[in-house]
Amino acid sequence: MASRLMPSEQWKGIIAVSRGGLVPGALLARELGIRHVDTVCISSYDHDNQRELKVLKRAEGDGEGFIVIDDLVDTGGTAVAIREMYPKAHFVTIFAKPAGRPLVNDYVVDIPQDTWIEQPWDMGVVFVPPISGR
């Protein structure tokens, strides 16, 4: 994703959608050398159940010169809210499901609509013994 967003000088900063976009936002900021990182906090999931959108905090402005990043565009509910808040932003995600795909400017991976994604940063690390048992 970062290489597709070059040259980095065209961007004023990054707006990460909390919480899913926080880790990808930090990685993208590092790769592009961007230090201005802000957040928009939108609550739309309660672990695995989608519910009503609630804007808890927003970054200022209309998004001009900013990349907005989230981990996933699913049904498009959050993406529609992002587009309304930041109509001039470049909106990117890591994963895109068919229903939300038209709402983002770019994404990395297509996934089926009925697939649930467990992000590595949402899981605990546990030891898994080798299948051989040795």
3-class DSSP state for residue 21?
A: coil
| Active-site hit among 46, 48, 62, 74 | 74
74 is catalytic: yes
C-alpha dihedral over 61, 63, 64, 66, to 10 degrees? 120
DSSP string, 26-45: HHHHHHHT---EEEEEEEEE
Catalytic site residue from 38, 71, 106, 114: 71
| Known catalytic residue at 62 | no
91 class by beta-carbon count within 10 Å (0-12 exposed, 13-18 middle, 19+ buried)? buried
- Let me know if 71 is a catalytic residue: yes
**Would you say 20 and 119 are in contact if contact means Cβ atoms under 8 Å apart?**
yes
66, 55 Cβ separation under 8 angstroms = no
Write out the H or E segment, with its range, that includes residue 92.
strand 90-96
What residues act catalytically? 70-71, 74
